[in-house]
Chain A
């Protein structure tokens, strides 16, 4: 019986793109269904009634939501090109850092971009603390996963690409080479990987998307 793998996602969502990276890394054939988040499809609402968010992976009709949960599921189901390390301690470290990225880094960086101007300096500092922590964790490794990209690198896709686009659109400096040389080097290696490069949204399209958001935010004030 052929495997049926579908991914309900959104082209501009880093969480959605994480899942695509994992599927492509493992050579899993899948059908991609893009969703308009302002008009969520019945399929999305049925597949993820709890959060009503993308991404949702449908494997033989069974839905899985939450990108990091999906990544682990993919890794356990398709064994080629493992995303997580073998050893329990290294796996724990990978999970710890992916959690840190989602629970601390992303909210801090996102907030630094979208907060009120008066709060920006403090917000950027908080973002910097996160980036510094990641910089220290990376040390002299090529990727968080070692010699090749792994779970944490996939989780850090927002930092590897989305942050750069936001910096341009919003006019904020976050991932600067003087403060974070190691992380910047990682970013360049990261977006240079074919599996990453081929699974990024277009910079122009993403930039335009964020620009619309900036404009509507300033109009509503």
Chain B
């Protein structure tokens, strides 16, 4: 019996894209269903009644929501090309850093988009504190996962969104001189065949310019 894997997602959502990366890394066939978040489908609302958000993975009809939860589910269900390390301590570190990205970096990055002129300074400082922490964690590693892409690298895709925001708003946040490690890491990631497929930088930039570019024009 063919595995039935469906993904409810949205092209501009980093959380949704994380799942596509994981599924592609493991060579899992899936059906992708693009959601219009301004007009959510009955299916999405049925499969994720608690949060009503993407992504939702449907495996043999059973839904899993919350991107990091989905990533762990994928890793435990399809064992090829592991995303998480095998060692419990390394695994704990990976979970810790993914949580850090979602609970510290992402909210700050979101706020900077919605804030105005003077508020930016404080938010940028906050984001840069978090980036500094990540830069030290990355150290000389090729990826957060070591020699190959792992859980934290997938979760860190939100950094691409930060880059799109900074370009759209003309802000200097993640700069090469301040964050050489992250800068290199970012290039490596964009060079990766699977990642490249799952980010659409140009489309994001175009979309952000339309939505948020007007904010810079009004300064």
Distance in Å from the Cβ of A194 to the closest Cβ of chain B?
27
Q: Which residues of the partner chain A approach B95 to less than 8 Å between Cβ atoms?
A: 66, 69, 72
B35 at the binding interface (Cβ < 8 Å): no
Mark contacts of A91-110 with chain B using CB atoms, 8 A cut-off: 1 yes-contact digit, 0 otherwise: 11101100110000000000
CA distance A70 to B96 in the complex (A): 9
A73 at the binding interface (Cβ < 8 Å): yes
CA distance A59 to B100 in the complex (A): 21
Name the contact of B72 in the complex, choosing from A64, A92, A133 (C-beta under 8 A).
A92
Which residues of B (45-62) have their CB < 8 Å from a CB of A? 50, 59, 62
- Interface pair B99/A62, CB less than 8 Å apart: no
- Interface pair B96/A66, CB less than 8 Å apart: yes
Distance in Å from the Cβ of B63 to the closest Cβ of chain A?
10
B140 at the binding interface (Cβ < 8 Å): no
Mark contacts of B29-70 with chain A using CB atoms, 8 A cut-off: 1 yes-contact digit, 0 otherwise: 000000000000000000000100000000100101110111
CA distance A4 to B84 in the complex (A): 25
Q: Which residues of the partner chain A approach B77 to less than 8 Å between Cβ atoms?
A: 88
Q: Which residues of the partner chain A approach B50 to less than 8 Å between Cβ atoms?
A: 100, 133
- Interface pair B89/A62, CB less than 8 Å apart: yes
Which residues of B (138-156) have their CB < 8 Å from a CB of A? none
Q: Which residues of the partner chain B approach A69 to less than 8 Å between Cβ atoms?
A: 92, 95-96, 99
B172 at the binding interface (Cβ < 8 Å): no
CA distance A187 to B100 in the complex (A): 31
Q: Which residues of the partner chain B approach A200 to less than 8 Å between Cβ atoms?
A: none
A77 at the binding interface (Cβ < 8 Å): yes
Q: Which residues of the partner chain B approach A92 to less than 8 Å between Cβ atoms?
A: 64, 69-70, 72-73
Name the contact of A89 in the complex, choosing from B73, B96, B100 (C-beta under 8 A).
B73
Task: Please count the residue pairs between chain A and chain B whose beta carbons lie under 8 angstroms apart in the complex.
Answer: 56
Distance in Å from the Cβ of B18 to the closest Cβ of chain A?
15
Distance in Å from the Cβ of B165 to the closest Cβ of chain A?
23
CA distance A207 to B76 in the complex (A): 43
Number of A residues near B (Cβ < 8 Å) is: 22
Q: Which residues of the partner chain A approach B100 to less than 8 Å between Cβ atoms?
A: 50
Mark contacts of A46-63 with chain B using CB atoms, 8 A cut-off: 1 yes-contact digit, 0 otherwise: 000010000000010010
Q: Which residues of the partner chain B approach A88 to less than 8 Å between Cβ atoms?
A: 73, 76-77
Mark contacts of B97-141 with chain A using CB atoms, 8 A cut-off: 1 yes-contact digit, 0 otherwise: 001100000000000000000000000000000000100000000
Distance in Å from the Cβ of B118 to the closest Cβ of chain A?
26
CA distance A88 to B75 in the complex (A): 9
CA distance A127 to B197 in the complex (A): 41
CA distance A25 to B99 in the complex (A): 26
Distance in Å from the Cβ of A119 to the closest Cβ of chain B?
21
A163 at the binding interface (Cβ < 8 Å): no
CA distance A50 to B62 in the complex (A): 36
Q: Which residues of the partner chain B approach A50 to less than 8 Å between Cβ atoms?
A: 100, 133
Closest residue of A by beta carbon distance from B77 = A88
B170 at the binding interface (Cβ < 8 Å): no
CA distance A133 to B89 in the complex (A): 33
Closest residue of A by beta carbon distance from B100 = A50
- Interface pair B92/A64, CB less than 8 Å apart: yes
- Interface pair B88/A73, CB less than 8 Å apart: yes
CA distance A161 to B95 in the complex (A): 27
A76 at the binding interface (Cβ < 8 Å): yes
CA distance A109 to B95 in the complex (A): 26
CA distance A66 to B91 in the complex (A): 13
CA distance A50 to B99 in the complex (A): 12
Q: Which residues of the partner chain A approach B66 to less than 8 Å between Cβ atoms?
A: 95-96, 99
CA distance A33 to B88 in the complex (A): 23
List, sorted by A's number, 26 A–B pairs whose CB atoms are closer than 8 Å. Answer: A50-B100, A50-B133, A62-B89, A69-B95, A72-B92, A73-B88, A73-B89, A73-B92, A76-B91, A88-B73, A88-B76, A88-B77, A89-B62, A91-B72, A92-B64, A92-B72, A92-B73, A95-B66, A95-B68, A96-B65, A96-B66, A96-B69, A99-B66, A99-B68, A100-B50, A133-B50
8 extra A-B contacts, CB within 8 A, seeds A73-B92, A92-B70: A50-B100, A50-B133, A66-B95, A66-B99, A88-B77, A91-B76, A92-B73, A100-B50
